[in-house]
Amino acid sequence: MKAKLLLLLLFVTSSIIAQDKKEIRDFFWGPKDEFKKANSIPDKWKNESAVFIHKREHYNYHKFGASVTYTSAIRKRVKLLDQAAVTEFSQFSYKNKFYSNKAYGTVWRRGTNFVGVKVVKPDGKEIEIDTEKEAKEVNGEQKLAIPNLEVGDIIDYYFYSVEPFKSVYDYTFAAVETPLGDVYPTMDLKITLETENDFFVNFNTYNGAPALKQIPTKSSGERSYELTEKNIEKNEFPRWFYPYAEMPCYKFQVIFARSGKFEKLADGFLSESEKEIKKTVAKEDIYDYYNKKFVPDGDLGPIKDFLKGKSFASEEEKVREVYYFCRHEYYTRYIEAFVVNDAKIFYPFEYYGGNPIFFSREESFINYFMYFLKKNEIDYDIIVATPRYNGSIDDLLIQGNVTKLIRVNTKNPVYLEYFSPYTSADQIDYSVENSKAYVLEVSKGKRVTDASTVVLPSSTYQENNYKTKTTLKLDDFTGFKVKRESSYLGHLKENEQKEKFNFYDFVYEDYKKYGTTQLLEYVKNKKKKEQYTNELNALINKMKDKQKEAFEKSAEEEFEFAVEDYKLEIKNSGRYGKKSALEIEENFNVKDNLIKKAGDKYLIEIGKMLTAQIEIDQKEKDRKNNIYMVYPRSFDNEIILEIPAGYSVSGLEKFNKKVENETGGFTSKAEVKGNQLIINTNKYYKNYYEPNANWNKMIAFLDAAYQFTQEKVLLKKN
């Protein structure tokens, strides 16, 4: 009986899946497919690599009882015009099944992807690929090779994803943000969005993209929307460019809330009714949303203990020191525990008491610091900003695109942001620097009472600085022994810390600084403690081996040649103050790369010790877009070559360069002092933004820096 029932269930399930496949296929390729015979492209695009004849994006949000189903799909019909396009579209990778991270339980978590692919030959013959039969599983993914694809073919394919899950309360779906255009020209674009009651939609278009239109539906509880456009030129995505700042684009997010109660709890800016599309977020929306989120709260006992017996020169100094202490007390103190838990060495969190406090979100950090500032009668505001790459705060639509900061209104304002192991007091996230933001004004340290606007401070290229001293000693005229001493400040410091540090590089430093108890000291059982210690040490040693390999690889990528016997030592972490530099010393050998023998002379490619520089090719020189920098920055390099006894150097004039203008500059100077050739360089980018009209001025100093790396000196006997 059980066997018969199982067979029946399998038969029914197979029948449903087969029916779903047919319906999905017909959704794109059925009788209503108006692009089935569309095979030609405009003459203006015949020299492109490929052209999208038709591109369709589809999103559907549906509920039934406690279950919710999210469907997303895309179809592309592509004309392949050269071999590069044939190669690109000759293989697809995807997963048949996946588990939703939106669900709870087990039954409702499983999602399914459906894939369809067909090739249309120039004579109109269609070859549909049996994706189930032809796809091969490799490392949990399906790999589908498209055989006999040729220039002139059309490949027509779709991906259709169905993701069911349970949600009794509310759920905020991931935002969709994308330029209208693609890397290839698009003849016809259609985006469809279907929702129903209890689904709130934020949707808007920018920079000249067409508006979303509502399509009539049979039911008042259902809603359908559509965005269409034709003849879209391809997008260029050059370096130093923010697409959402200039390109026609659209952004949307759907938020599910079953009732008014959950609408108030929803994680986003909602319209008054799900029947209305929310297109803009006003100052009042910002105030209403965050007024509910930010409430002074927390246990200040640890801060009181930390402050006992301490005095400070100013309120600014006090705030900074409390910030760094809290970064450890509520953040880095638990990093070791997360590592131990992930490695399954033991379950560590029981050792921290019944309710350990870990700040996992911006809101937790802000509410706690609000309470500290309130109790200490220190005036402050909350800053709400959005990264410059998202466009202006005036176009804010997605709550997840918001960055929150605290501005402490001391004599010299102190800006504080949610912790990372490397954040500095006084340093604003570079993505929101120099941008318009909202200020949530706080009355008497308690509640948000109003919102106004402000332009956030900028940093300078002098503040974001990398300085290095590289000493070269000839090794039997076949290579160099290299010592490189580097220091980083500003945003360059934080980026380098993220790359160079692992948890043991900062966690144990904080333990030592603040005298807190290390995780393993909580373990009282000697046998267990010894076991856990050995396992953790083994894990750290393994991490250090991988870290060393990563450092060596990073150095080779930086110089673009091989290095040997690489060693790195962190001299100062730079983690306890904006003006405290990250200091690193590297030692390595370079073999058979930079020295060429010419009779009794040696040609040395010393310019390459500047590290690889940007080479602007002709395509980049013809840039049409404006330039968006992450932040102003500067790079100071000193290269010292120890000249062997009995030798002299020539060719120094090529290392004396000077190109400076309002966008930045590159200068270099070479001279011999005693037995040392000393070369100093300075390269800097002045601004966050440059209009396209200034691009040639930037190219001037970028080319000078690149040309420096191609220069050589001649080492000859006296």
Q: Which residue has the tokens 């590290």?
A: 611
Determine the pLDDT at residue 97: 65
Whether 470 and 451 share a structural domain: no
Determine the pLDDT at residue 445: 58
Average pLDDT over residues 608-616: 93
Whether 211 and 89 share a structural domain: yes
Whether 107 and 246 share a structural domain: yes
Determine the pLDDT at residue 18: 53
Whether 490 and 409 share a structural domain: no
DSSP codes, 24-69: HHHHHHSTT-TTTT-----GGGTTSSEEEEEEEEEEEEEEETTEEE
Whether 708 and 579 share a structural domain: yes
Domain end, chosen from 403, 434, 455, is at 455
Do 117 and 144 contact (CB within 8 A), yes or no? Answer: yes
Whether 402 and 490 share a structural domain: no
Whether 426 and 551 share a structural domain: no
Q: What is the pLDDT of residues 85-137, one digit of tens each?
A: 999 999 998 877 665 566 454 444 577 889 999 999 999 999 999 998 998 98
* CATH number, position 693: 2.60.120.1130
Domain end, chosen from 226, 247, 278, is at 278
Judged against a pLDDT cut of 50, whether residue 158 lies above it is answered with: yes
Whether 172 and 237 share a structural domain: yes
Domain end, chosen from 244, 278, 312, is at 278
% of the chain at pLDDT higher than 90: 80
Instruction: Please give the distance of CA 497 from its chain centroid, rounded to a whole number.
Output: 16
Instruction: For residue 127, tell me if it sits in a domain.
Output: yes
Sorting pLDDT into bands at 50, 70 and 90, what band is 284?
A: confident
Q: What is the pLDDT of residues 401-442, one digit of tens each?
A: 999 999 999 999 999 999 999 999 988 999 999 999 999 887
pTM for this model (two decimals):
0.89
Instruction: For residue 21, tell me if it sits in a domain.
Output: no
Do 36 and 29 contact (CB within 8 A), yes or no? Answer: yes
Q: In whole numbers, what is the pLDDT of the chain averaged over residues?
A: 91
Q: What is the pLDDT of residues 544-592, one digit of tens each?
A: 999 999 999 999 999 989 999 999 999 999 999 999 999 999 999 998 7
Token pair for residue 335? 């990093």
CA distance 14 to 2: 18
Q: What is the pLDDT of residues 483-501, one digit of tens each?
A: 999 999 999 999 999 999 9
Instruction: For residue 288, tell me if it sits in a domain.
Output: no
Instruction: For residue 125, tell me if it sits in a domain.
Output: yes
Instruction: For residue 287, tell me if it sits in a domain.
Output: no
Instruction: For residue 548, tell me if it sits in a domain.
Output: yes
Whether 534 and 438 share a structural domain: no
DSSP codes, 488-534: E-THHHHHHHHHH--HHHHHHHHHHHHTPPPGGGG---HHHHHHHHH
Whether 448 and 588 share a structural domain: no
Q: How many domains does the chain have?
A: 3
Q: How far apart are the first and last CA of the chain?
A: 100
Tell the burial category of 183 from Cβ atoms under 10 Å away from its Cβ (0-12, 13-18, 19+).
Answer: middle
663/286: higher pLDDT:
663
| Positive/negative CA dihedral, 150, 151, 156, 158 | positive
Average pLDDT over residues 602-615: 93
Sorting pLDDT into bands at 50, 70 and 90, what band is 236?
A: confident
* CATH number, position 223: 2.60.40.3140
Instruction: For residue 5, tell me if it sits in a domain.
Output: no
Instruction: Please give the distance of CA 119 from its chain centroid, rounded to a whole number.
Output: 36
Dump strand ranges (E) for 100-151: 110-120, 126-129, 136-138, 141-145
Q: What phi-psi label fits residue 543: left (phi over 0), alpha (psi between -120 and 50 degrees) or beta?
A: alpha
Whether 130 and 270 share a structural domain: yes
Determine the pLDDT at residue 4: 41
Q: What is the pLDDT of residues 332-391, one digit of tens each?
A: 999 999 999 999 999 999 898 878 899 998 999 999 999 999 999 999 999 999 999 999
Whether 552 and 578 share a structural domain: yes
Structural domain boundaries enclosing 77: 48-278
Determine the pLDDT at residue 118: 96
% of the chain at pLDDT higher than 70: 94
